[in-house]
Amino acid sequence: MSASDVAATITAEGSLAAPPVDRGEPVLEIRGLCVDYGIGDGATHAVADADLVLRRGQVLGLAGESGSGKSTLAYAATRLLREPGVITGGEVLFHSRPNSPAGAVHQDGGREGGIHSRAGTADLLELGEKELQRIRWSEISVVMQSALNALNPGISIGAQIDDVLRAHRPGLNGRARRARAVELLEMVGITGDRLGSYPHELSGGMRQRAMIAMALALEPQVVIMDEPTTALDVVTQREILEELVRLRDELGFAALFITHDLSLLIELADEIAVMYAGRLVERARSASLFQAPRHPYTYGLLNSFPPMHGARTAMIGIPGSPPDLRAVPPGCAFHPRCPHALERCSVDVPELATVPQVAPGRPGQEDSSLREVACWLHDAANPVPVPSELARPEPPDPGTPPDPGLPAAGRDTAAGAAAAGNGAAAGPVTAAGRGADPVPAEGGQTS
Amino acid sequence: MTETLAGGAALPEPTTPGAAEAPVLEARDLTKLFRVRRGLRGRGTVHAVQNVSLTLARSAVTAVVGESGSGKSTLARMLARIITPTSGELLLDGEHMPLSQRHRQQYAGRVQLVLQDPFASLNPVHSVRYHLSRPLKIHHMADGDLGGAIAALLRRVALDPPDRFIDKYPHELSGGQRQRVAIARALAVQPDVLLADEPVSMLDVSIRLGVLNLLADLRDRSRLAILYVTHDIASARYLADTIVVMYAGELVESAPSTQLTDTPAHPYTQLLLSAAPDPARAERPSLAGRGAPPSLVSPPSGCRFHPRCPHAMAVCTEQRPPSVQVSPGHSAACWLHVSDLRPAQAQPVPAAQPAPGTHATRPAGPPKED
């Protein structure tokens, strides 16, 4: 996808979704990012031509199995990639916002100058170490999967937060830093008296909360989360995700949420990108992805999560196993596992492209949602019959995005998606019916 | 895939456990206490599993669902006699088994355990052939044709053709294939009971169903009694005939699987279900209780769930709840289902200590009472 295409899709999205204030304006743009492990002919292509746009106030989900390159993508985009990882191409544009509420706080914090005090776009891949240091944590922060490994076991969490503030907010004195640390912990639901606790004294959930507090310490514009709740129990996971959505609504940061758990992302994220063998294969609003997947891999992945309601039906999942990145099949990497593979799938690599919209009953009417898929089944130039399960009608748009000014507004995203789900439940597609013959609509759940 | 699992075929509705089949393995009041040191001088006892009774019937999958630390893995290991219970009884085909690990070999010929991590449970320096020949030799299962027996095992776990896998080493196999080898190794002794401790949680999402379907196939075709230990209630609902829910070392609810997920009777089960990811959910869930599981060194008095329970009553803080039959085959250990409580006992108690992370405790509606 060329840069002009990116611009076109952005403006299309912007005008159609009509985001109030600056929600929906891109804050992080990844274009054509390529990452290899190793150099030369023996290099493994871990990420190939990745295009992603993260918008302000948005939760963008990045889903994929282990080895699909999702974490590599995030590390490369933040320049945290370690040897032997090499970024071989692309750009990562960070659009800073100086006059944000967060920015005002920064100035109160006594910081002078620096590149964030002026608006601007920087290519993170071109920046020097010094400039990167200023952007990291204060503008883009990362929450890692294992809080136990990410936190220093020999220092109390209060001291670790203090460390961050001392390095990035030289204007704050000791008392102010301490007050801020207490405020941060309380923000994520940890009482201030825990400031002196060491990581081993906290439960897994509390450690992960402390990590989130530290990531938000400098009010970043972007938070990247790599499987932040995978090691936790479901109840703790749900609590932390609720916390996260609340904080997103309050502070207005954008989040890139990386996980293998697609069923979780559908509830959490506004938009989802699916990766397979180093390439993005589909990108859509969560409700669209869930109810009307276009890529056979997305469809198979959705069918790998047994439903919680309705009659039990046998499900197949996806035959075969994910490819080794050292020996990715030619053409579309998914073709050996794909039930609909065409001849050209084993030869040509499909590009991520806008899907010809399917709007049965309303021919000619353009669908409003932005969605892209990398699959020859949806190639506009060479149309082929599309299997019915990959040509389901788009769910209705949940409506205009919530107003960021109201605290709990962002929660509507999920409610809206759910409303869309209700709308579609009357149709032939229900969650319980996926992957099998149509079954009765899901039975009521009482809990 | 097998005939029974052809795409779209409806799975048989779960039946009451042991209704048709006599139990193969039965646990009565199994308890496990671990002694631990606390600090320099202090000693403590971890009440890992407390009075758990369970039956595993032929041709049935029983799922044990619970959070980490609920004692579900300890239970599986006690059933495999790898951990010696502190007290309780273990019956195989109605016969009392010694609880200790001595003279385990004959028992191991009937009851086999499959572990969570196929990367750790297979020896990296040995081939598939070696892994599968060991149990066959030790238990004298293939006195004539060892190669043929190994090939048959590999076919049984759908590693077909066997020639392609027999001389591979673990690092040459994918996670799913490794777990299949681990299952084949357990099947080598032709057991009656298969204990599977989180067999798919380390595997990639897209291949989990394949292994679950393999377990379902073993249940149906080899008439195995299977214990499926998991934290994923959706997969338990998919695979199991009966689901048993554990909380803080105790068994809190047990029911046919769809009944348990559709009409949960215990507040903890309701909490688990409200927290589980569910894309088809009609509305945003409100967590029916919050906080984290208690310390097992000093578990709460009465019902161990009462500090987190939105419906806690006076009696819950004092006495352990009895197991109450809610409907046929469905029982829950909860005072809410005991009908003749005195008014003083039924006095509501506010959730004891709001656990860290509580910024809003939303009251949920009262649970369904029968």
Q: Within chain B, where are the H helices?
A: 72-79, 105-108, 118-121, 128-138, 146-156, 175-187, 205-222, 233-239, 257-262, 267-275, 314-318
Residue at B141 is within a domain: yes
Q: Does A148 touch chain B (CB under 8 A)?
A: no
Phi-psi region of B53 (alpha: psi -120 to 50; beta: other; left: phi over 0): beta
Q: Report the number of distinct structural domains present in chain B.
A: 1
Distance separating alpha carbons of residues A414 and A429, to the nearest angstrom: 19
Instruction: Among A34-38, A264-268, A357-361, B150-154, name the one with the lowest average pLDDT.
Output: A357-361
Q: Which residues of B touch A442 (CB under 8 A)?
A: 280
Mind telling me how many Å the CA of B197 is from chain A's nearest CA?
Answer: 16
DSSP letter string over A20-41? Answer: STTTTSEEEEEEEEEEEESSGG
Which residues partner with B92 through β-bridges?
A: B25, B95
Q: Chain A partners of B359 at a C-beta cutoff of 8 Å?
A: 189, 243, 246
CA dist B177 and B165 (Å) reads: 9
Return the bridge partners of B46, or none. Answer: B34
Q: Give A437's contacts in chain B (Cβ within 8 Å).
A: 8
Give the burial class of A402: count Cβ atoms within 10 A of its Cβ; 0-12 exposed, 13-18 middle, 19 or more buried. Answer: buried
With CA atoms as reference, the chain A residue closest to B1 would be A316
Percent of chain A at pLDDT > 70 equals 75
Whether residue A446 has pLDDT greater than 70: no
pLDDT, residue B11, reads 57
Cα A385 to Cα A347, A382, A389, distances in angstroms: 19, 10, 12
In a domain? residue B179 = yes
Tokens encoding A402: 């919530």
A56-92 pLDDT, tens digit each: 999 999 999 888 999 999 999 999 888 889 999 999 9
Alpha helices (H) along A312-409: none
Asked if A238's CB is within 8 angstroms of B11's CB, the reply is no
CB < 8 Å from B in window 350-379 of A = none
Hey, which residues does B253 pair with through a beta bridge? Answer: B245, B332
Lowest-confidence region among A1-10, A219-228, B287-296: A1-10
Sign of CA dihedral A185, A191, A192, A195: negative
* CA B4 from centre of chain: 24
Enclosing domain of residue B176: 120-190
pLDDT of residue B174: 87
- What mean pLDDT do residues A10-19 have? 36
Contact map slice: A 226-285 vs B, CB within 8 A: 233-240, 242-243, 246, 260-264, 266-267
Q: If phi over 0 gives left and psi between -120 and 50 gives alpha, with beta otherwise, what is residue B158? A: left
B227 contact A CB<8A: no
Quick: pLDDT tens for A135-144: 999 999 999 8
pLDDT at position A109 over 60: no
Residue B210 lies in a domain: no
Q: Which of B284, B285, B356 has its CB closest to that of A206?
A: B356
Please tell me if residue A39 touches chain B, with a CB cutoff of 8 Å. no
Q: What is the pLDDT of residue B355?
A: 44
Residue B248 placed within a domain: no
β-strands A254-259, A59-63: how paired?
parallel
Query: Is residue B26, in this structure, part of any structural domain at all?
Result: no
In this complex, do B7 and A236 lie within 8 Å of one another by their Cβ atoms?
no
Alpha-carbon B344 to chain mean position: 37
Check: CB of residue A370 under 8 Å from CB of residue A355: no
* ω into B98 cis (within 30 of 0): no
Which candidate in B209, B274, B290 is best for mutational testing of the A interface (most A CBs within 10 A)?
A: B209
Contacts of B35 (CB under 8 A, 6+ apart): B43, B44, B45, B46
Let me know how long chain B is.
370
A312 touches chain B (CB under 8 A): yes
Instruction: Report residues of chain B scoring pLDDT below 50.
Output: 1-9, 15-19, 353-370
Say if residue A422's pLDDT is above 60: no
Least confident of A154-158, A210-214, A363-367: A363-367
- A396 vs A368: CA distance, rounded Å: 9
Question: What residue in A sits closest to B3 (Cα-Cα)?
Answer: A314
- CA-based nearest residue to B150, from B173, B168, B176: B168
The pLDDT value recorded for residue B180 is: 94
* Distance, C-alpha A307 to centroid of its chain: 23
Alpha carbon of A153: minimum distance to chain B alpha carbons (Å)? 18
H helix and E strand count, chain A: 13, 12
**CB B210 to CB A317 under 8 A?**
yes
- Check CB contact under 8 Å for B356 and A316: no
Q: Answer with the residue of higher pLDDT: B231 or A380.
A: B231
Determine which of B239, B278, B369 to mutate to test the interface with A (most A C-beta atoms within 10 Å). Answer: B278
The residue in chain B having the minimum alpha-carbon distance to the alpha carbon of residue A237 is B275
Q: Nearest CA of chain B to the CA of A49: how many Å?
A: 24
Distance CA B258, CA A67 (A): 34
Residue B154 lies in a domain: yes
DSSP calls for A164-181 = HHHHH-TT--HHHHHHHH
Would you call A238 and B275 a contact, using CB atoms and an 8 Å cutoff? yes
Q: Is the pLDDT of residue A232 over 90?
A: no
CB A375 within 8 A of CB A354: no
Say whether residue B355 is in contact with chain A using an 8 A CB cutoff.
Answer: no
Is residue B268 within 8 A of residue B290, CB to CB? The reply is no
**B271 contacts A445? CB cut-off 8 A:** no
Q: Which of B231, B257, B279 sits opposite A234 (nearest CB)?
A: B231
Q: Return the structure tokens found at B145.
A: 């044709």
From the list A253, A252, A254, A257, the residue with the least C-alpha distance to A240 is: A257
What local confidence, expressed as pLDDT, does residue A41 receive? 84
The interface residues of chain B toward chain A in range 280-339, judged by CB-CB distance below 8 A, are: 280-285, 287-288, 290, 292-293
Alpha-carbon gap: A386 to the closest alpha carbon of chain B (Å):
20
Nearest to B205 among A65, A422, A435 (CB): A65
Nearest to A306 among B234, B292, B356 (CB): B234
Residues 6+ away with beta carbon under 8 Å from B41: none
Question: Which token pair is A115?
Answer: 């590149």
In single-letter form, the type of residue at position A350 comes to P
Please indicate whether, in this complex, the C-beta atoms of B368 and A446 are within 8 angstroms of each other.
yes
Residue B337: inside a domain:
no
A205 to B292: CB separation less than 8 angstroms, yes or no: yes
The more confident residue out of A27 and B142 is A27
pLDDT category of residue A342 using cuts at 50, 70 and 90: very high
**Contact flag B287-A189 (C-beta cutoff 8 Å):** no
Among the listed ranges A13-22, A161-170, A275-284, B245-254, which one has the minimum average pLDDT value?
A: A13-22
Q: Do the chains contact at A308 and B270, CB–CB below 8 Å?
A: no
Residues of chain A contacting B209 with CB distance shorter than 8 Å: 303-304, 306, 315-317
In order of A107, A115, A254, A401, B147, the CA distances from A22 in angstroms are 21, 21, 12, 11, 68
What tokens were used for A187? 């923000």
Cα nearest neighbour of A267 on chain B: B279
In chain A, which residues have their Cβ closer than 8 Å to the Cβ of B282? 418, 421-422
In a domain, B17, yes or no: no
Which of B9, B174, B235 lies at the smallest CB-CB distance from A306? Answer: B235
With CA atoms as reference, the chain B residue closest to A418 would be B282
Residue of B nearest to A320 (CA): B207
Beta strand B242-247 pairing with B323-327: unpaired
Tokens 């029983």 -> residue:
B62
pTM of the model: 0.82
Closest partner residue to B206 (CB to CB) among A290, A312, A318 is A318
Nearest alpha carbon to residue A212 among A239, A172, A233, A235: A239
Residues of A in Cβ contact (< 8 Å) with B68: 233
Average pLDDT, chain A: 79
Which chain B residue has the Cα nearest residue A238?
Answer: B275
On the 0-12 / 13-18 / 19+ scale of CB atoms within 10 A, A173 is: exposed
Q: Which two tokens stand for residue B316?
A: 């819950």
